[in-house]
Structure 1
């Protein structure tokens, strides 16, 4: 069922990238402090005065003194870093980045400049640009800044890589923990990374460790529910999601996860929950797809198709949407329209067996036996026959007056049906009597 993939996608996104109302997993902190220098050289009097202002958080005074000094000494790496630090504190982020970059250029061995530049770029969302200075910082002597500052570089790199390369992020997090003690945030990230690499047991254990010390941690609760769903422990996932929702009734990740668990257990509560999510996120197309699919499975094809209609209009070449729309048309017995939709879907996605199944059925209902046989042939490349397709084979060959193949497929159908399709079985037996009589 494709629904579960959409649900897990939405719920996972709310864990990795905060949904409305959720705190981020691990924000990247500010710059390295100028109070802890790596290999401090002799300091110019003007720079020393600016640093005294920085210690007092008198950023404007520091900024003024450093600007004047840098006019005459544009390549002083220490002054450039201090100017960047002051601009950073004043939230003049582009100017701060420019100063940090100049400081790095003037002295590539400056640990605090490399670290602060990387942290600032990461805070600005410029993750790939942040990587190089952060990696450089991990290879430099941190001086008086010490292991704690270098661990910040490793943790920031782990945050950058958590989505695209969780295995690398795990290694970077481990490097951070080697330098400083593991924090609850580290445990959360380790759990997320383990889940992302399908190490579900370690991920579950890590989430439970966080919850042992902080039973109300919603991030750990959502992460644990996600793992339990992945392990198909739906009843446990449902219980944990409900527990989290008692604390935060409108949490979108937990609501989506509860809906996932309920759908997997065929519980009717899933539809009201999905409707709630859809109302809260009306522009979220994944959410609309989820609600449309569950509504169709609940037997309301017309209501489901109203949800699919704007999606199909927005994405007319999305084969999955077309197939879902076509299935709803079949349920409403609008076979000619379904035939057109499945024809387009199979042209767009010739490897999708669901599209060929729909085309075969709609072609049969519109009395196009040659098209039905071709669609069944294409479907058989990826899926085995079942009683329904065997009946379509038989009736199509019957309409084409291919008596031998019709007889063969009617017999195959009766063997496979085994009393589960009484109407079609009666029809098959009647046709066999007539066809075999003509032999």
Structure 2
């Protein structure tokens, strides 16, 4: 009866549309029937693609969308659905091409502009920043995309541009902890330690129990050779998150540079309880023993460093070799 009644293709299509949102699985059969009865129309294929997509059947969804576009290449709605599907499937290059098709007809499509930026970023293409800017021209209040742009510029070491975008995001409102962290990351990239410290201190007032924030502030103080404040912040970070060995290691670096060699050795012992020491940690341990005039311990530590380093750090290797010669002579004299 469906073949004899010319209205039946519309009935199948309408039934599919009716079921699409709430019962996508039930909509598949009538939409497939509509595709068969309307082979020259793209719309039933697009709707079938939407149904498959709701069921996370991405392969059949892509096939349906591609079939629709073969019939109507200028269908921007279907191109957008297919572009977004390609992107979710990790097919960034194909997604980029489809987003560009949409933008050729609808240059201010927010979804296409954002999708183009994401697909370019996924391919590590430099045009991603410009694509995000184009999106923000149309949707200037999208803080998430602006943050994405800032992080992209930061990763590409475009610090001035990143700061300029930060200013836009903070205009007219109080900065958040996350925005202050991001600002600090940019300033650290520029080696503007004092400004970075100011941003991190402001963030700490908003989130005093954020261990990563305290640790980052401690590391930044260390860059300024402000050992007292570095030690204070890193100890606070350890109190908040004692399992994070990075804070212990940074504190060991701080105490070593401050000339607190016994404290440094105790901190290195604490780290060594959790993981095997690195060549760098063995070298610092040797230097501490050396500074404390613990000759035998220093000699052993230098030799362990040489075994671990395998000549990857020639300057330190040379220094260790020279100290080994001197320390051996010192021990010989004591006999």
User: TM-score normalized by structure 1?
Assistant: 0.53
Please say if 1:275 is aligned against 2:170: no
1:330 shift after superposition:
2.4
Deviations 1:102-160 (A, max 9, x none): xxxxxxxx766644xx3xxxxxxxxxxx5xx33333345799999857954752673x6
Please say if 1:290 is aligned against 2:182: yes
Contact 2:32/2:48 (<8 A) preserved: no
Alignment RMSD (CA, Å): 4.6
Please say if 1:264 is aligned against 2:155: yes
Once residues 438 and 273 of structure 1 are traced to their aligned partners in structure 2, the CA distance between those partners, rounded to angstroms, is 60
Deviations 1:245-280 (A, max 9, x none): 795494646644543443233223222222322346
Query: 1:138 corresponds to which residue?
Result: 28
Change (3 A) 1:216 1:153: same
Change (3 A) 1:175 1:200: closer
Please say if 1:206 is aligned against 2:98: yes
1:355 shift after superposition:
3.5
Deviations 1:165-211 (A, max 9, x none): xxx26346336537855732332333233333332222222223333
Contact 1:169/1:193 (<8 A) preserved: no
Contact 1:192/1:203 (<8 A) preserved: yes
Query: 2:116 corresponds to which residue?
Result: 224
| Number of equivalenced pairs | 301
1:392 shift after superposition:
1.8
1:384 shift after superposition:
5.2
Consecutive unaligned residues of structure 1, counting only runs of 5 or more, are 1-35, 41-109, 119-129, 162-167
1:349 shift after superposition:
3.8
Query: 1:83 corresponds to which residue?
Result: none
Contact 2:230/2:254 (<8 A) preserved: yes
Once residues 204 and 288 of structure 2 are traced to their aligned partners in structure 1, the CA distance between those partners, rounded to angstroms, is 31
Q: Whose relative contact order is higher, 1 or 2, with alpha carbons under 8 Å and at least 6 apart?
A: 1
Change (3 A) 1:135 1:185: same
1:294 shift after superposition:
1.5
Residues 64-79 of structure 1 correspond to what in structure 2 (within 5 A)?
none
Deviations 1:288-312 (A, max 9, x none): 4322222223223443344445655
Contact 2:215/2:234 (<8 A) preserved: no
Please say if 1:190 is aligned against 2:82: yes
Question: Per the alignment, in what secondary structure is the counterpart of residue 77 of structure 2?
Answer: helix
Please, which of 324, 329, 338 is the counterpart of residue 233 of structure 2? Answer: 338
Please say if 1:435 is aligned against 2:327: yes
1:430 shift after superposition:
8.1
Please, which of 261, 266, 269 is the counterpart of residue 374 of structure 1? Answer: 269
Please say if 1:174 is aligned against 2:66: no
Residues 342-357 of structure 1 correspond to what in structure 2 (within 5 A)?
342-344=237-239, 347-349=242-244, 354-357=246-249
Query: 1:326 corresponds to which residue?
Result: 218
Once residues 407 and 178 of structure 1 are traced to their aligned partners in structure 2, the CA distance between those partners, rounded to angstroms, is 66
Once residues 31 and 312 of structure 2 are traced to their aligned partners in structure 1, the CA distance between those partners, rounded to angstroms, is 73
Query: 1:361 corresponds to which residue?
Result: 253
Contact 1:255/1:273 (<8 A) preserved: yes
Contact 2:253/2:264 (<8 A) preserved: no
Change (3 A) 1:320 1:216: same
Change (3 A) 1:280 1:363: same
Residues 50-61 of structure 1 correspond to what in structure 2 (within 5 A)?
none
1:315 shift after superposition:
5.7
User: TM-score normalized by structure 2?
Assistant: 0.66
Once residues 179 and 229 of structure 1 are traced to their aligned partners in structure 2, the CA distance between those partners, rounded to angstroms, is 28
